[in-house]
């Protein structure tokens, strides 16, 4: 056989063997299972059969591989769809299984998994920051609320309770004293000669005097006592679970503390003293009534020469036991 002529074809004839032509036509028709029998004699017919069979096997392999890839790609797309549905529903732990084949499908799975992981990290970081922002906002709101509550209940100058808050606490303590049958006393305190302090030294020094007096009062009361500025230079102490003997002791300690709070301005002493009126609450009595009796006792202290403690001369009724 002439090697230039090809299988089964001579240079002289220029014709292809019929078996080769027939086989190629069957393959062109799509019959990739068609095979020519081989004699292994290496003659033209056997060579034609070899070529036809080799082409058929290669076409079958290509078709099989293509179908496998199509099936694999279809399965991949189904899995990818399921994974993306999980991600869309908020499950950022979803990942696609990989076969590590290294082909385009495996690379796509790798890229999708990486994208989901990065998205999860981004969402986690965003949620963490949102939580930090929420906690900071809550802390800020709580701080502002406390500040507003303090401003609403505190006298700005002396940092004791203001009159409104003091009256609220007084009503609460009367309610508890009524319910649990314990004693309750109030003290009305007034800075002596406070107008003279303002007239001689000015209102700024008068403000200092009020603050020092308030500090001195707070230094002697108990943790459960309530101290407030009632108005001008007047203060009130509400002392729960306190008998008149206890109130006398408390008032004396407060009076001494205020006397020791004297200070100087430009070498001149600013003397601080207080007159104190005491009253013990009696069952059924209103807060206004017991405060009025303490106020009357305070004026008795003023008339007695100031810097002293007095009680009502004639109680309206018997104190609560």
Q: Which of 167, 173, 233, 285 is catalytic?
A: 233
Return d(Cα 251, Cα 274) in angstroms, integer.
10
φ and ψ at 263, to 5 degrees? -140, 175
**For residue 293, what are its two tokens?**
């009796």
Q: Are 280 and 244 in contact (CB under 8 A)?
A: yes
Residue that the structure tokens 């969402």 belong to: 123
Sequence-separated (6 or more) residues with CB below 8 Å from residue 294? 186, 187, 188, 236, 277, 278, 279, 312
Cα–Cα nearest to 54, from 15, 7, 4: 7
Annotated active-site residue 233? The verdict is: yes
Task: Cite the active site residues.
Answer: 233
């Amino acid at each position: 056989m002439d090697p230039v002529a090809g299988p089964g074809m001579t240079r002289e004839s220029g014709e292809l063997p019929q078996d080769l032509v027939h086989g190629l036509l069957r393959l062109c028709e799509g019959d990739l299972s068609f095979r020519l029998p081989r004699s292994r004699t290496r003659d033209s017919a056997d060579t034609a059969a070899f070529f036809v069979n080799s082409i058929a096997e290669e076409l079958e392999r290509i078709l099989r591989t293509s179908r496998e890839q199509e099936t694999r790609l279809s399965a991949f797309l189904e899995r990818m769809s399921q994974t993306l549905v999980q991600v869309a529903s908020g499950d950022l732990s979803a990942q696609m299984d990989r076969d590590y084949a290294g082909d385009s499908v495996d690379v796509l799975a790798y890229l999708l998994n990486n994208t989901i992981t990065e998205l999860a990290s981004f969402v986690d970081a965003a949620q963490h920051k949102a939580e930090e922002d929420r906690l900071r906002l809550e802390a800020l709101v709580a701080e502002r609320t406390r500040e507003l509550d303090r401003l609403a209940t505190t006298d700005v100058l002396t940092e004791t309770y203001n009159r409104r808050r003091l009256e609220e606490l007084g009503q609460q303590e009367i309610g508890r004293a009524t319910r649990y049958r314990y004693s309750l006393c109030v003290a009305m305190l007034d800075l002596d000669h406070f107008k003279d302090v303002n007239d001689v030294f000015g209102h700024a020094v008068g403000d200092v005097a009020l603050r020092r007096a308030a500090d001195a009062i707070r230094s002697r009361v108990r943790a459960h006592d309530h101290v407030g500025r009632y108005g001008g230079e007047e203060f009130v102490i509400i002392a729960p679970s306190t008998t008149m003997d206890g109130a006398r002791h408390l008032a004396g300690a407060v009076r001494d503390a205020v006397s020791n709070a004297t200070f100087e301005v430009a070498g001149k002493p600013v003397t601080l003293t207080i007159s104190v009126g005491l009253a013990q609450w009696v069952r059924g009595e209103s807060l206004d009534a017991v405060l009025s009796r303490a106020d009357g006792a305070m004026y008795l202290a003023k008339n007695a020469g100031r810097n002293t403690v007095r009680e009502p001369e004639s109680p309206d009724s018997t104190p609560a036991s």
